[in-house]
Structure 1
Amino acid sequence: MENCSSEGLEEHVSKPYDGTCFCRLQVVVLKSKMRRNPGRWFFRCPLWKTKNTGCRYFQWMDETIEESAGVEESSNNGTVVCNTCGVLKGRFTSIETETTHINGKMLIEQMKRVELLVCFILGGVVLSLCMSLICLVR
């Protein structure tokens, strides 16, 4: 894991959102549980829990979007995104693709289970018919 010092943080008072923190690591998205900002989403350096590491990068998600107001576009699912936040749009698309892929795998697994169950049921029916035929022949 990369180590990032908070030294020099003062010279990076603000940073335009590009999906990375001052450490140049991909930021994590978290939801506030504090009384002052309940449910508010924010970006954070991924090393924020680690003492003496990380750059202490923090930015509210809604403020990031507000900073780039005026250059909004609507995506195909109705979500409003910003051109300067294209990184976010790409990540959400990537997550959506992964979710679709995972859902497809789960559907295939469920279909395999149903197929196996049908095979057991049909096997039982065939066995029952064979036993009935044997009884009739005797």
Structure 2
Amino acid sequence: MSLRKCNSAIGNVSCSNTTSSRKKKEKKLDGRCFCGLEVALMESGTVTNPNRWFIRCPLWKTRDCKYFMWVDEIEKGWEGLARSLAKRNTEHCYTICEDGLTITAVKRENQESFSMIARKMKKLRGEVRTSRVLLVTIAVVAVFCLTCNLYLVMKI
């Protein structure tokens, strides 16, 4: 594994140069890259690190951010990543520029919208299931009627 340098503007990411022979030093994560953007979770497809998950700056091609971390090197791995991202989501505040007010209800509205969408999806899945059963029933009845008609025609 190559040597990497990790720095954070916030100061809560601690990294060290690591090699495959050294013990990994655990890193802490706040869910944002050096640019301040939300990190992107990716899966490696390289020969040297197949199927290994990492996070990086979403604009790594256009900016010189260089933010990169392997998920298994983050403090507490996936659990730490999930906690950090959940914490980041609950700490979001949105401000209205005209009044300078801080709105915390936006997050709650988003959660309510998500719940409403989930309920609608469940209802639609039930309707699709009912429609499938109805179509199968109609098809079976149609085949039965055709069979009876053919039997009567052949009998005459």
TM-score range, shorter chain: 0.3 to 0.5
What is the TM-score of this pair, normalised by structure 1? Answer: 0.48
Q: Select the structure that is richer in helix.
A: 1
Normalised by the size of structure 2, how large is the TM-score? 0.44
